[in-house]
Structure 1
Amino acid sequence: MQHIVLSTIEEIKVYSDPYRIQIMNTFRKQGRPSTVKEVADLMGEVPAKVHYHVKKLEKIGLLTLVSTREINGIIAKYYEPFEGEIHLHHEDEGDSPLKQVFQSETLKLLNEMYEQSRERFMKQASQGDRMFISDMTLYATNEEAEQLFKDITKLCEPYFTDNKKQDGQEEFRLFSSLSKQLEDEPDSKTEVKPSKKRKSSSKPKS
């Protein structure tokens, strides 16, 4: 799978903007290369406004111009969103001011991604749609955890939009995170009463 490394503060700022994340999601929903006007129409926005942000995303490789077509004397440009892994990495060591700013922007990006996923999940839950939820405690080395995340991503590859949406298919969003339990967090095992069995997954009725 392809991946992009965002390693500068400017790159993180470009990607962490909530409006640009919305633009990226709209391109992905199309399931095919799309023009700025098509995306702007779906968002209910002015094409010129969306175009400004599209150029920013194109500059850091998250959108790619894949083709052009002349329509009524106007050159229509078709962009495709990046569908690989996005890595965040900064070269500065220690607690330098630049690294602190980088970390701040990274947290801003992660917060926005989690918030959009939460809003999408709660909206779907309120509509009574079918969802798949999993909350599990795992034990692994750092290397095993990294390999597990790669395996999960690879398992999802056949369902990426590169393969195009087929008849009968619906769009699903998988938001996954794998994080260590912090030292000041209570042990998950101590939170479970002996008389009750903890459920690790659930499938709300559609």
Structure 2
Amino acid sequence: MKKELKTLEEIRIYSDPYRIQILSEFHNFNRPATVKEVADALHEVPAKVYYHAKKLESIGMLQLVDTRLVNGITAKYYEPYRGQVVISKSGVDDKIKQVFQSETEKLVSNIYEDSRKRFMESFGAGKQRGNLTNASVYLTEDDAEQLFAMINQFCEEHGQPSAGEKRDRYELLFTLLHNPKGK
């Protein structure tokens, strides 16, 4: 599955660090969860989380999957998007390319910073082993596309806990950068 962010507004909604944190909490539940559950996990007021959850829902990053009547109140259960997120530059108006670039940079920076924090917290606590690789590989364009597709398919196949076998959660941050000049 692939979600393509095409507009400046979609990127702004998705790139907000607080919204990334909310999405992360929805992922942590490994099941559909309510905004109240996520707010409790974040030690936040549900109204604040709800506002941001609605924004994420508007761009397809959260999806309402169930409603239940609980003590006379309708509880709404959401699931986070679990596929690949792609930022599309095609069709971007020349007038907003600089702003588009800036918002994309902010998004990448927030994702990297969030991942770095989790890695260092885990590493510092000594609870988990962290693996880090930084390497150059030489690929054809087809090889690069195949590698990226293979990793995304693997993530989709293992993106949910299995019912029978006990599996631990691992975090994966993968970037593939075309750097023909080697700089």
Q: Equivalent residue of 1:54, what SS?
A: helix
Q: Distance in 2 between matches of 1:14 and 1:165?
A: 33
Q: TM-score, normalised by structure 1?
A: 0.82
Equivalent in the alignment of 1:127: 125
- Partner residue, 2:159: 160
Q: Does 2:113 correspond to 1:110?
A: no
Aligned partners of 2:30 and 2:164: how far apart in 1? 10
Against the structure 1 CA distance between its residues 182 and 154, is the aligned structure 2 distance closer, same or farther, given a 3 Å change threshold?
same
Match of 1:170 in 2: 168
Q: 1: CA distance between counterparts of 2:90 and 2:177?
A: 22
The answer on whether the counterparts of 1:92 and 1:99 sit within 8 Å (CA) in structure 2 is no
1:145 maps onto 2:144 in alignment: yes
Q: Are residues 29 and 100 of structure 1, via their aligned partners in 2, closer, same or farther at CA, if it must alter by over 3 Å? A: same
TM-score by length of 2: 0.92
Task: Give distance in 2, aligned partners of 1:93 and 1:16.
Answer: 17
Confirm or deny that 1:46 pairs with 2:53. Answer: no
Q: Give 4+ residue runs of structure 1 displaced > 4 Å after superposition.
A: 163-167
Report the secondary structure of 1:105's partner residue. helix
Cα drift, residue 136 of structure 1: 2.3
Deviation at 1:181? 3.5
1:27-106 matches, cutoff 5 A: 27-92=26-91, 96-106=94-104
Counterpart of 1:12 in structure 2 is 11
Mind listing any 5+ residue stretches in structure 1 that lack a counterpart?
A: 186-206
Q: Cα RMSD (Å) of the superposition?
A: 1.8
- Per-residue CA deviation, residues 158-199 of structure 1 (Å, 9 max, x unaligned), is 3112x55666322211111111337373xxxxxxxxxxxxxx
Structure 2 residue aligned with 1:192: none
Alignment match, 1:183: 181
- Distance in 2 separating the partners of 1:158 and 1:177: 19
The size of the alignment, in residue pairs, is 182
Q: Which runs of 5+ in 2 are unaligned?
A: none
CA–CA distance in structure 2, aligned partners of residues 99 and 64 of structure 1: 29
Which protein is bigger by CA-based radius of gyration? 1
Give me the whole-angstrom Cα distance separating, in 1, the residues matched to 2:92 and 2:9.
Answer: 18
